Structure 1
Amino acid sequence: MIRTLGSYFAHLRKFVRGIRPRDRTPVQSRWPHRFRQFLLLFLAFVILPIAWSLVPFKVTGQTETEPPTVESPESAADDDSETNDLEDNLEKFDEAIADTEPQEGLFSLYRNDKKNALFLELQPQQLDKNFLCAISLASGIGERGLFDGMPLQNLLFYFHRVNDKIEFVVRNVYFRTRPGDPMARSLDRSFSDSVLAVLPIKSIHPDRQSLLVDLNTLLLDGRDLSGLSAMIPFMLRGSYVRDPEQSRFSRVQTFPLNVEIETVYGYTGGEDSFTNLEALPDNRGFTLRLNYSISALPENNGYRPRLADNRIGYFITAYRDYADENRKEAFTRYINRWHLEKQNPDAPLSPPKQPIVFWIENTVPVEYRDAIREGILAWNKAFEKAGFIDAIEAREMPDDAEWNPADVRYNTIRWMNSFDPWFAGIGPSRVNPLTGEILDADILIDGNIVRLIQKEFRNWVGEEPTASTQFLGKTLGNDLLCLPGITGDMEIATSEGATDRRATAVPTPLKGFVADMMERYDLCYGMEAPQQFAIGSLGLSMFHNALPSGPEMETYLNQYLTFLVAHEVGHTLGLRHNFHGSTMLAPEQLHDRSITRTKGLVASVMDYVPVNLAPPGVEQGDFYPVVVGPYDEWAIEYGYKPLEAMSTALERRDLEAIARRAGDPELAYAPDEDTMDILNPGANLFDMSGDMLQFSRWQLDNAREMWERLDKRYPVSGESYSEVREIFDMVYFFYIRNVMNATLYVGGQWFNRNHAGDREGRLPFEPVAIEKQRESLALLQEYVFDDNALQFPPQLLNKLAPDRWYHWGSLPIVFPLDYPIHQRILLLQRLVLRALLSDQRLTRLHDLELKAQPGEILTLTELFDTLQRGIWTEVLDNRDGLTEISSVRRSLQREDLGLLMNMVLRRSPVPEEARTLAWYQLKQLREAIDRTVDKRGKHLETASKAHLQETRARIDKTLDAQIQSF
């Protein structure tokens, strides 16, 4: 644009020089020429720039505006003629809306309750204009993801007239250029908008020339705009279809800037043998209410999009920018944020012209509202770094409020209840897809979390597994895939030798839905956060004798709610997860309230934080973060600090100055996608402190102490033994989490998102120090592989009785009725061993030999030797007094043997270097078994002797096998 204006003024100077008189004349005779020059300059510098500013124009990095529609007089005349002909064939407007109740607002609506009819009046100027339609569930069934308030779709759409019909069209905002650019014609031909519905014109107003359309066609009879009907069969695992006879309009409200329409959909079916919805009285039918919120987009409100930076975690509005093909980057990316302006732009700290207001819904229990308010207002500390005082307000929704929480004009904290919860909280927001401006937000909190205080663990711990499933039902469930070292396509072996490939467990339509929810809201469907919460309440009960309704437990619950709400409010401010945030403090600082109440327990509340349970002998500090951290303040500064630059593009320099601080360890950032690779120990869920190995060791000791106290103190007189089993499994899952966290150090690399030249910047990849990798292996040997790692008193194991209630919502265990302790222990060992010997990790270790100096990293050879010494100790040590190899150790050794054999036989994809080492390990093991059998064979009990002889035979067959190509 600057080059264009420069060219314009250069031509103007030439023009002015061209009209200057060439001959010298007296002063009085030159006056007319001076006057003409004055008029020309006035025209050039005043009138034309004003006119220029009124022409739609976009430069890269600024807001996209809708190109004007230009229509030739001939086509307009033809349309007038067609309109007149069409009016003659349509119902009269007054007759069409007879017996309806009119409602005026953004659109005029006409409703007839008796006929279940709803009409919408479109003004001529509303055609081809962008509107936003946000669709959410206004009621649910309490399970399988159908929860009240769940967001479904955000559609940027427009109404387009084609002859006697109106098209409902979703605008394609992924490809853009500046208005008026000839490239726009090519984009229009290359990429399509999406027509989702076609509505017949019912009538045309004779004076206003407005068009009347039937919303039944759009919202009840036609295609499901939400896409929910297509997903329900997969979500509920039954052939459910929407029944038009049961569908109707419910609440309808109109306002100047939005329209709220609630529909009721009836679904029938579910007669498949595998459909079992426990929250329904009858599987064959249910109803859902959907809220359609149609709103106008803000116009000329001064909002300026802000460019994104990959060092700072914001949700992003992105498009492929064709305005300048010489750009290095094909995409323009804006962060999603609210429109905040200072009341006093010159003041270092100023209240906003319009604060972000969150309403605590009147469904929230009164006793939790203060904690929720604290979670909302915690962010004002961060906004002060951006120059705002009281940027966020928290208000309570009156009991007699007539407005609906789904109304686009209100941001709400909503309380929901479910039978089968998927999450503890979720913070979706509504965003202008052209600019990234956040327009509305509604946070959902699942009230089931409170029941954990009363020890109702069943809904959270889940069902018992059968003998054929090696994982703990919902105790692991989807969270198994979130554990470090476990990837989506890992095969979990079952007792029958079959495999369960978890990656194929989610149907394709649901994968798309979940992926979309993850992209828009960082939504995680695991329930480990409440399980962590349950562990904390159990720790309070066991270590501090806290009562479920006592003051200590109340403080604990309020801390969790404050943290949970602060986390979800962060999402609604535009922030993504930061799973590096929990690594800020040293382990010894975690329970120092003088630090955690000022600087913060974590660098970012956008992390998934475990319960900060003090180890034995340490005074308990804060269980959860109660203030936002340094990263949160920095991110808000980047997103919301007012900048003096005149355009989005010119802000880049000021934003770069803020982002260059990314090298500060407290500002490290790692979103969801960084945790999907077993690379960076710092990018992890439910870890804590800058030394995760020390923290994990503390929590593993806590778990062992819980098991010991469980044996001594539970059950209380008169209570069922089933509670002991439930707590045992809950602690077991807690144990698995902390063990798997430790595996990340082996072959790990610190991954930094720094840019070249950042303050304290480092290279993107740095191998984990060899001392830490060795410490990790030593921890795993002590807490997983050692014969004494998981030993329980027989008395405790004989207390683990299953729940025997048999009714809806509670099915008793039929088989196995007793507790499969060997399977439980082997599951943990199998997870760890397969994680350590996975192709991904072995490849990394092999590559690290070229990425670090000799002696600085753990080698493949050292890994294989360390594992073999720890797992086959009884054989390799050649103990003189060896008489037995325990059953737990025999199971572990078979697992290790199978993995080595699969490598040698090319049944598993690993580096060739690892195959060679596996072959060598088997040969060494074969020789050690020979020595042990020769020396101690007659002293070994039968099971141990048979185990060694079978192992030797399997090794012989493997080493002698004909090698096939993989």
Structure 2
Amino acid sequence: MKLSHTLVLLLFMLSLSAVAQRKKGDPEPAATSSPIAAKVAGLQKFPGYFEYYYDEKQDKIFLVIDKFDTEFLYVYSLATGVGSNDIGLDRGKLGAEQVVKFERRGPKVLLVQPNYFYRAISANKDERRAVEEAFAQSVLHGFKVEAEEGGKVLVEATDFLMEDAQGVSETLAETKQGNYRLDTKRSAFYLPRTKNFPQNSEFEATLTFAGDPAGNYIRSVTPSPSSVTVRQHKSFIQLPDNNYAPRTFDPRAGYFNISYYDYATPIAEPIEKRLLTRHRLKKKDPTAALSEAVEPIVYYLDRGTPEPIRSALLDGARWWNQAFEAAGYKDAFRVELLPEDADPMDVRYNVINWVHRSTRGWSYGASVIDPRTGEIIKGHVTLGSLRVRQDYLIAEGLLAPYEEGKPVSKEMEAMALARLRQLAAHEVGHTLGLAHAYSSSTENLASVMDYPHPYVALTNGKVDLSHAYDDKIGPWDKVAITYGYQDFPSGTDEKSALNNIIQQSLKTGLTFLSDQDARPTGGSHPYAHLWDNGKNPADELSRVLDIRTVVLKNFGVNNIKPGAPMATLEEALVPMYFFHRYQTEACVKLIGGLNYRYALRGDGQPVTEMVAPAEQMKALDVLLKTIAPASLMFPEDLLKIIPPRPLGFDRHREVVKIRTELTFDALTAAESAADMTLSLLLHPSRAGRLVEYHARDEKQPSLESVLDKVIAATVKSASKNGYEGALQITVNNVLLDNLMTLSLDPDASNQVRAIAYLKVEQLRNWMTERVKITANEDWRAHYTFALNRIRTFQNNPEDYKREKLLTPPPGAPIGQQEDAACQRF
């Protein structure tokens, strides 16, 4: 039957009206002319990189796969966190990025991860196939085909998208918080962050983990600890094009790297290849001394960051434009506030996240990278929000700013914000590809990639914080950015040009040393340290001890605000009492120290050189000051005004550990401080170097001579009475415990253990005589008990257990470890 023109027009207008009234986000009507369309009819459609559909009634996602055997990047992360630094499941935490592809296998589709650790960079397909078949791949998931048509298949992806990819259950178990399992009945997709774009598909799910809580960390941050709920984000990302030019890694240049084995390499060349990690950046005019970038690098700051912190972080992160300008770029690096409608988990945004936790801890800079080339696709910074409060507390301890009748100084906030600027620059630096540069503090603050301790001066006898932290990018940072990001004109010999950048920096006295060289426990490098200042570690420790003496002498009621409980003096006191801890770590590395560089053959750098004996002895003299009673004593006037904690103010991790139930324990605080020095000095690897270096050069101090000097300054020093004598006894017990521990340490060489054992035996003989001639009951008790410990140790060494010496509160003027998880490479 033929319809009239009027009726046709009326039906058309009604159709348009229905479309217009459809709300944004409602399911698009699906045609039923194909198997896939029939299966997804009535479901909400998400067109984009991988088209997918959401079934609201069943809370399921169906994925359309139209790209088989095409590699893409799969990334998972936590959109929301647990809130405990100790557990480590932070908001925004990235998981591993993986190159994957879909492969069809009969009624199944497999998500396959090729093995990019082993490759054959060759035009010969058989050569490539031989390597592919030699090493295992990983199948991450298997999907059942629900429908198919014209080369496309439809699979249900619900189970894959809701699995615990981030390992929340495993992390809770590893941190001894309890055994938890994913409860699918209390988990669901989170649609506000489930989105699709032309080059990336984003999925987010609320995951609930049920279990029996076993640890205090999870109890402290979860309203119902038996139910831990977070959101997990997963991304499918189109891999970058082939226009990025990888840059060969040089250990002297200050970058992280990726590595792989290329089995197509000629036998005369190294099979392991290393590429540095960096963003893609090109000049519009590579021949110009200063050129705009084809596409600048833009970072976005979390909108949840409050003022004045927001401005400080923006300022600090923007410092990097100084380095890019030095590399010949104009306005190539920008930092802006994250747009209101932007998703921080979206791979298109480099982000600086402001993350809250229940306790202070580290910040870190991570990246999403292309594992094939080292290209950074997304920079992802996590800044712990409690960091700024710790710096403020340190400033309160140093300045005693709450004098009655006087306005409160602005110096505390100024110092805390100055550190935040440096912290923002530091963590962003990691996401630009840069590693820690720990020798720069001895080179006049040459890099923001070092860990800076606040520089405190005494001006006319008063604490001066005017230069606590640097306010700019350092000269090494400019060298590193130039090395990694310089865009050379066509025809340039890149290898030669890059080497010239390093050679020029060496001529100016700049060096690069990183994490493994700076760690204090067994580290040997005299100039690469964490949280230190000054060119000479021993001289700086002596200076820091002088400052500490002044601060402790002046410490009192003016260090807390009027109306605060007197017991809270302890919070500000702790970082002052242990103010020297990091410079001590730097100084102790001179003992048995070895100066070296990441030298390449022919680059002119010194390779290795033992630290001069005189420098080691000077360092030992200063270290012994840290365990002398004069350094460990609290002023009596101060001890009288620290009462037990009042109701509502329980002891916590930021105050000293005690053995006196409620009252402040001055002797245990001294025990923690003494062990801080002696455990480092008697570390088995340091002791082993002393043995070896003295054997190679008799001018080098021997382990025996170092131990004899420590014993002479402690156990065998003239015994005092009262508080000073009690401190001597405390230190003696710490030394004896460390000596016996060293003599049994399986990581120590036999000769190290033998020498430590000999010193214990010599102390036994000496104390045996002292008991006979000592009248003071305290000292007789000390010697008698020490002798009993030695006899027990000697008679049953296999049953000997180290004394439980109490450790200092978490330190690192910032947190336990500011950014220990800085990078995942």
- Within 5 Å, give how 1:108-119 maps onto structure 2: 108-119=51-62
In the alignment, is residue 788 of structure 1 matched against residue 624 of structure 2? no
* Residues 896 and 163 (structure 1), Cα distance of their counterparts in 2 relative to 1, 3 Å cut: same
For 1:556, the equivalent position in structure 2 comes to 415
Partner amino acid, structure 1, of 2:674: Q
C-alpha separation in 1, matches of 2:114 and 2:166: 16
C-alpha separation in 1, matches of 2:630 and 2:644: 26
Conserved in 1, the CA contact under 8 Å of 2:287 and 2:488? no
C-alpha separation in 1, matches of 2:405 and 2:703: 48
C-alpha separation in 1, matches of 2:752 and 2:431: 49
In the alignment, is residue 103 of structure 1 matched against residue 46 of structure 2? yes
For 2:606, the equivalent position in structure 1 comes to 762
Please state whether the residue corresponding to 2:632 is helix, strand or coil.
Answer: coil
C-alpha separation in 1, matches of 2:159 and 2:134: 30
In the alignment, is residue 316 of structure 1 matched against residue 257 of structure 2? yes
C-alpha separation in 1, matches of 2:746 and 2:200: 60
For 1:403, the equivalent position in structure 2 comes to 342
Which of 448, 463, 472 does residue 605 from structure 1 map onto? Answer: 448
Conserved in 1, the CA contact under 8 Å of 2:624 and 2:713? yes
Conserved in 1, the CA contact under 8 Å of 2:350 and 2:379? yes
Report the more deviating stretch, 663-672 or 368-377: 663-672
| 1:886 CA drift (Å) | 1.4
* Residues 562 and 203 (structure 1), Cα distance of their counterparts in 2 relative to 1, 3 Å cut: same
* Residues 238 and 902 (structure 1), Cα distance of their counterparts in 2 relative to 1, 3 Å cut: closer
- Within 5 Å, give how 1:324-723 maps onto structure 2: 324-398=265-339, 401-423=340-362, 425-450=363-388, 452=389, 530=390, 534-542=393-401, 551-585=410-444, 602-615=445-458, 617=460, 619-644=464-489, 651-661=494-504, 663-664=506-507, 666-676=509-519, 677-711=522-556, 713-714=558-559, 717-723=562-568
Please state whether the residue corresponding to 2:184 is helix, strand or coil.
Answer: strand
- Within 5 Å, give how 1:55-454 maps onto structure 2: 92-123=35-66, 126-143=67-84, 144-177=87-120, 178-205=122-149, 208-220=150-162, 223-235=163-175, 237-250=177-190, 251-272=193-214, 276-300=218-242, 302-398=243-339, 401-423=340-362, 425-450=363-388, 452=389
**Could you list the per-position Cα deviations for residues 2-38 of structure 1 after superposition, in whole angstroms to 9, with x for gaps in the alignment?**
xxxxxxxxxxxxxxxxxxxxxxxxxxxxxxxxxxxxx
For 1:943, the equivalent position in structure 2 comes to 778
Partner amino acid, structure 2, of 1:842: A
| 1:404 CA drift (Å) | 1.1
| 1:419 CA drift (Å) | 1.6
Partner amino acid, structure 1, of 2:475: P
In the alignment, is residue 775 of structure 1 matched against residue 618 of structure 2? yes
| 1:386 CA drift (Å) | 2.0
Partner amino acid, structure 2, of 1:941: N
Task: Give me the TM-score of the superposition, normalised by structure 1.
Answer: 0.72
| 1:361 CA drift (Å) | 2.7
**Could you list the per-position Cα deviations for residues 334-354 of structure 1 after superposition, in whole angstroms to 9, with x for gaps in the alignment?**
111111111122211101010
Please state whether the residue corresponding to 2:284 is helix, strand or coil.
Answer: coil
C-alpha separation in 1, matches of 2:790 and 2:386: 52
Conserved in 2, the CA contact under 8 Å of 1:103 and 1:109? yes
* Residues 607 and 871 (structure 1), Cα distance of their counterparts in 2 relative to 1, 3 Å cut: same
For 2:661, the equivalent position in structure 1 comes to 816
Conserved in 2, the CA contact under 8 Å of 1:547 and 1:553? no
| 1:256 CA drift (Å) | 1.1
Conserved in 2, the CA contact under 8 Å of 1:541 and 1:547? no
* Residues 275 and 655 (structure 1), Cα distance of their counterparts in 2 relative to 1, 3 Å cut: closer
* Residues 255 and 715 (structure 1), Cα distance of their counterparts in 2 relative to 1, 3 Å cut: closer
C-alpha separation in 2, matches of 1:795 and 1:217: 65
| 1:167 CA drift (Å) | 0.7
Aligned residue-pair number: 756
Cα RMSD (Å) of the superposition? 3.5
Please state whether the residue corresponding to 2:221 is helix, strand or coil.
Answer: coil
Partner amino acid, structure 2, of 1:159: F
* Residues 285 and 872 (structure 1), Cα distance of their counterparts in 2 relative to 1, 3 Å cut: closer
* Residues 685 and 544 (structure 1), Cα distance of their counterparts in 2 relative to 1, 3 Å cut: farther
C-alpha separation in 1, matches of 2:407 and 2:592: 43
* Residues 369 and 894 (structure 1), Cα distance of their counterparts in 2 relative to 1, 3 Å cut: closer
In the alignment, is residue 751 of structure 1 matched against residue 596 of structure 2? yes
Conserved in 1, the CA contact under 8 Å of 2:599 and 2:606? yes
| 1:213 CA drift (Å) | 1.4
Relative contact order (C-alpha < 8 Å, sep 6+): which is higher?
A: 2
For 1:510, the equivalent position in structure 2 comes to none
For 1:470, the equivalent position in structure 2 comes to none
* Residues 320 and 805 (structure 1), Cα distance of their counterparts in 2 relative to 1, 3 Å cut: farther
C-alpha separation in 2, matches of 1:112 and 1:884: 74
* Residues 289 and 236 (structure 1), Cα distance of their counterparts in 2 relative to 1, 3 Å cut: farther
Partner amino acid, structure 2, of 1:281: P
Conserved in 1, the CA contact under 8 Å of 2:246 and 2:276? yes
C-alpha separation in 2, matches of 1:905 and 1:167: 53
Task: Give me the TM-score of the superposition, normalised by structure 2.
Answer: 0.84
C-alpha separation in 2, matches of 1:187 and 1:580: 41
**Could you list the per-position Cα deviations for residues 68-88 of structure 1 after superposition, in whole angstroms to 9, with x for gaps in the alignment?**
xxxxxxxxxxxxxxxxxxxxx
Q: How high is the sequence identity, in percent, across the aligned residues?
A: 26
Conserved in 1, the CA contact under 8 Å of 2:213 and 2:225? yes
Which of 566, 570, 573 does residue 728 from structure 1 map onto? Answer: 573
* Residues 835 and 391 (structure 1), Cα distance of their counterparts in 2 relative to 1, 3 Å cut: same
* Residues 131 and 646 (structure 1), Cα distance of their counterparts in 2 relative to 1, 3 Å cut: farther
| 1:280 CA drift (Å) | 1.6
Which of 751, 776, 782 does residue 912 from structure 1 map onto? Answer: 751
**Could you list the per-position Cα deviations for residues 742-762 of structure 1 after superposition, in whole angstroms to 9, with x for gaps in the alignment?**
222111111211223224x21
Gaps in structure 1 of 5+ consecutive residues: 1-89, 453-529, 586-601
* Residues 548 and 827 (structure 1), Cα distance of their counterparts in 2 relative to 1, 3 Å cut: farther
C-alpha separation in 2, matches of 1:431 and 1:160: 23
Conserved in 2, the CA contact under 8 Å of 1:662 and 1:754? no
**Could you list the per-position Cα deviations for residues 598-640 of structure 1 after superposition, in whole angstroms to 9, with x for gaps in the alignment?**
xxxx111111111112235475432112211121111111111
C-alpha separation in 2, matches of 1:951 and 1:628: 53
**Could you list the per-position Cα deviations for residues 733-792 of structure 1 after superposition, in whole angstroms to 9, with x for gaps in the alignment?**
333333333222111111211223224x212x21112222111111122231x2322222
C-alpha separation in 2, matches of 1:808 and 1:283: 21
Partner amino acid, structure 2, of 1:261: F
Conserved in 1, the CA contact under 8 Å of 2:744 and 2:753? no
Partner amino acid, structure 1, of 2:267: N
Please state whether the residue corresponding to 1:427 is helix, strand or coil.
Answer: strand
| 1:722 CA drift (Å) | 2.1
Partner amino acid, structure 2, of 1:333: R
C-alpha separation in 1, matches of 2:212 and 2:206: 19
Structure with the bigger percentage of helix:
1
**Could you list the per-position Cα deviations for residues 60-117 of structure 1 after superposition, in whole angstroms to 9, with x for gaps in the alignment?**
xxxxxxxxxxxxxxxxxxxxxxxxxxxxxx9922211111122221121222323312
* Residues 407 and 909 (structure 1), Cα distance of their counterparts in 2 relative to 1, 3 Å cut: closer
Please state whether the residue corresponding to 1:886 is helix, strand or coil.
Answer: helix
Partner amino acid, structure 2, of 1:191: F
| 1:537 CA drift (Å) | 4.6
C-alpha separation in 2, matches of 1:953 and 1:244: 59
Conserved in 2, the CA contact under 8 Å of 1:359 and 1:412? yes
C-alpha separation in 2, matches of 1:744 and 1:262: 48
C-alpha separation in 2, matches of 1:111 and 1:963: 66
| 1:723 CA drift (Å) | 0.9
For 1:20, the equivalent position in structure 2 comes to none
Report the more deviating stretch, 624-633 or 533-542: 533-542
